[in-house]
């Protein structure tokens, strides 16, 4: 009897494990932000269907010593986007709702995380 209960519990745990989303999932949609290009002019950066569960440092503003941070993010993905003021998801954070989340020009960011 105990063996049967243990086998049933193990099978249930295995089925639950298989039903969980994997870490390779992606947010569907587009995330945009504004950064200064090499001439100092505003340019729009875009992330299409970004991976979830991974910190993404924005390549255009990765060098904190020489480039100003990006600003004015727009989250048009189906996931919560958390913007960070520093690279590698460090510093202050701001969460943006799926589909409609945004930040003003005052919201500075260098990295983002989708959950």
pLDDT tens figures, 41-77: 999 999 999 999 999 999 999 999 999 999 999 999 9
Residue 20 has pLDDT above 50, yes or no: no
Superfamily of domain 29-114 in CATH is Crystallins (2.60.20.10)
Break the chain into its structural domains and give their ranges.
29-114
The token pair at 69 is 């941070």
Question: DSSP characters for 10-75?
Answer: HHHHHHHHHHSPPTT-B--EEEEEEEE-TTS-EEEEEEESPBSSSEEE-GGG--TTTSPPEEEEEE
Instruction: Please tell me the pTM assigned to this model.
Output: 0.78
């Amino acid at each position: 009897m105990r063996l049967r209960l243990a086998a049933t519990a193990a099978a249930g745990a295995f089925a639950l494990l298989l039903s969980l989303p994997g870490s390779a999932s992606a947010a569907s949609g587009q995330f945009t932000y504004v950064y200064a290009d090499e001439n100092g002019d505003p340019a729009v950066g875009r992330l299409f269907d970004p991976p979830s569960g991974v910190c993404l440092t924005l390549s255009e503003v990765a060098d904190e010593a020489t480039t100003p941070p990006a600003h004015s993010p727009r989250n048009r993905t189906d996931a919560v986007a958390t913007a960070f003021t520093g690279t590698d998801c460090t510093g202050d954070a701001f969460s943006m709702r799926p589909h409609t989340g945004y930040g003003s020009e005052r919201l500075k960011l260098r990295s983002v995380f989708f959950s």
